[in-house]
Amino acid sequence: MKTRRIVGPLDQRKRLTRCQSCARRRIKCEGGTPCEYCVRMKKNCQPQAATVSELKFVSHSVVPQHTSNLQPQISDKPDSVYLKTFFLFLQRCEFTPEFANLGSEFLPLIQTCAPLREATVAIGALEISRSPSTRSSDELRSPYHFALKSYSKALTSLQHYIQSPHAIHCQGVLWCTLLLGLFELMIEVSGGQWARHMLYGTSKILELSGTDSRSDYVGCQSFETFRLLEGNRAILYGEDTVLSDYSRMGQLDVMTSNPLDEILNFIIKMSSFSKSIKTSTYQVPVSSIELSQFQKINDAIIQI
């Protein structure tokens, strides 16, 4: 049952005029005091008791609660995210049979070689920018802009780094030139910058470093990657390559481990041979020795 609304001292809208007996019976109280109902029923006519609101003071003690504050969530820096993306990018590349497993071998080089770190971050940022779900309201903070900025930093840092006398024997410098060429191949449709980078950058470093660049596992993988890219460049542009040198090709024959390597070796030889044919056309007729050499290369490819 709902309680009656307490009437304030200045509220004249409704007064409690019924006696207790009439209020209990829920009838109209008439006739003044005593009312007609109380006189007829011989009851004691008493007015209703006005409810007085009382203030109750309750003591309450606050018990201190030890709550653990949540640590603010720290997001990774952009270069860390792009570096992780670069390692995922490596796993999808198949330049060599073991190229996808180079992630753990790359970490020491990235930590010690600043140009290589910027080159890896540039490729990772470029890979993220090519995703359809990547959107950025600020173009200056977009992954694509970050990739170009890291690429520029890598070039500037590499120019200062190669002035050191130890730069020629540094695996990080060799990998940096390879990855910068790969970045240019990914960002440019024509591939002209990549071709010049491979011809005048990576090949010159390999030529100056000699066999020291392939003394360990990472060095062998860098040379195998360069051999594949340089072979394709020589075929596409119809040019000679540094890999066609006799001493270097003699070392390649030792490194041959599968039919794909043999085919690549023969392709490099054919590229050099076609270049010599083109040169000799304007000088002297082609000798029978050169024709027999070409026939041997062709027969070997057919056998594979």
Give the pLDDT band (50/70/90) at residue 248.
Answer: very low
pLDDT tens digits, 268-299 = 777 666 666 655 554 445 444 444 555 555 55
Give residue 293's pLDDT. Answer: 53
pLDDT tens digits, 72-91 = 454 567 778 888 888 888 88
Give residue 140's pLDDT. Answer: 54
**pLDDT for 240 beyond 60:** yes
Give residue 301's pLDDT. Answer: 45
Least confident span in 69-78, 111-120, 172-181, 255-264: 69-78
- Helix, strand, coil proportions of the chain in percent (round to 5)? 65, 0, 35
pTM of this structure: 0.58
Which long-range contacts (C-beta less than 8 Å, at least 24 apart) are formed by 14-21?
Answer: 16/47, 16/48, 16/50, 18/48, 19/45, 19/46, 19/47, 19/48, 20/46, 20/47, 20/48, 21/45, 21/46
**pLDDT for 265 beyond 80:** no
Domains, the chain, ordered by start: 16-46 (4.10.240.10), 78-205 (no CATH)
Q: What is the mean pLDDT of residues 20-36?
A: 85
